[in-house]
Amino acid sequence: MRTGLTPESKDKRRRKIVATQILKPTTENIVKCANTLKAGGLVAFPTETVYALGAVATDAAAVEKVYAVKSRPHDKPLIVAVSNVSEIDGVAVNIPDKARTLMKKFMPGALTLLLDRADCIPDIVTAGARTVAVRIPDNAIALKLLEIVGKPIVVPSANTSDKPSPTLADHVLTDLDGKIDYILDGGASEIGIESTIIDTRVGPPLILRGGGISADRITAEIGEVEFKREKPIMSSAYSPNAEVLFSAYYDGMAANICAKYDALTARGNKTVIICLASNISAYGNRNVFIAGSSYEDYAHNLFALLRRADAEHYDTVIAEGVRSEGIGASIINRLVRASGGLII
Ligand code: TXA
Ligand code: MG
């Protein structure tokens, strides 16, 4: 007997997501994901900074779902991605010359511009603000997806709010399994921390969030910039379940970290130290996660190591500090926030 609809196709009509599928980034799968996005679905995909949770930016109902699955507060606006510089004129207006200079130099790349928003961007994307934050990801899979969809896509990090941003497809699955349609697996995100966000509409331009492109590189193009002051009490962010402690950078930092580690382990606390390879000998046979040999490596590995601490059931992570130079400033920003200011 035919009933017209199989249970499976009924499920499809309701768009009920039972399990989220991880897909290899073949052309066929990218097209499949583009069709899902065009139909109002959610797809996570790699970018060079961290994995993004995409929805078509002009589809308010789809964007609403992004807030829901991330448990994101509605007053925190979303970044919009496009596939090339000329499309920025479709989502923003009154674009300053300094923004154009930065576009030429850093787009595609880990830079997000805060601009006056065009009418096609719904309120839900910008949390009601008259501005829109725009970027072009420097990742072939992301660019291909954007080109096929042919519309701007919101690109928040594909994690549950307050958790470390995902730098692998598996991290996305840990947080969002059963809540989104697909994850395109592009391997590890190259940079590992999010884009730098800058407002060039004001003088001097204001860096709202340090990230993958350092302030020095921006200053070399457009002159002096200022950093937005962080509020003294910061909301939690980038936080694994483990408690995160963070050391300031100074000579003798390792001795202080060892003393803290020993006090914690004496209390039965399972603790691990995140350090650069060059410092490992200072920690003897204590548990360490090596973040690599450069600040770029540290940025690339940081979020993955915070998630690894949870997977391996550590109670506490003590992260080494770095100098505030180049991408070091962005590492410090993420560590201060992950630790909620618990600096040793
Ligand atoms: O590298 C990145 O930017 C990643 C990749 C996946 O694109 N995305 C990302 O998005 O970090 P999210 O949602 O995790 O962080 C976006 C930040 C938030 O701090 C938000 O407040 C800010 O951008 N933002 C977005 N639109 C804004 C606006 N119109 N005005 C001020 N801040 C804005
Ligand atoms: Mg985020």
Give the chain's domains with CATH numbers: 7-227 (3.90.870.10), 243-339 (3.40.50.11030)
The secondary structure of residue 157, as a DSSP letter, is: B
CA of 255 to the centre of ligand 2 (A): 33
pTM to 2 decimals?
Answer: 0.93
Please answer whether residues 261 and 307 qualify as being in contact, where contact means their C-beta atoms are separated by less than 8 angstroms: no
Which residue among 79, 83, 189 has the greatest number of ligand 1 atoms within 8 angstroms of its CB, and so is best to mutate? 79
CA of 167 to the centre of ligand 2 (A): 12
Q: pLDDT digits over 17-50, tens only?
A: 678 999 999 999 999 999 999 999 999 999 999 9
SS3 171: helix
β-pairing verdict for 131-135 and 79-81: parallel
Q: pLDDT digits over 186-196, tens only?
A: 999 999 999 99
Please report which confidence band the pLDDT of residue 341 belongs to, taking 50, 70 and 90 as the band edges. Answer: confident
Q: pLDDT digits over 238-291, tens only?
A: 999 999 999 999 999 999 999 999 999 999 999 999 999 999 999 999 999 999
Q: Is the CB of 189 under 6 A from ligand 1?
A: no
Across 245-257, b (16+ Cβ under 10 Å) vs e yields bbbeeeeebbeeb
CA distance 276 to 201: 38
Q: pLDDT digits over 75-125, tens only?
A: 999 999 999 999 999 999 999 999 999 999 999 999 999 999 999 999 999
Apex CA 298: angle with CA 83 and CA 186, to 5°? 35
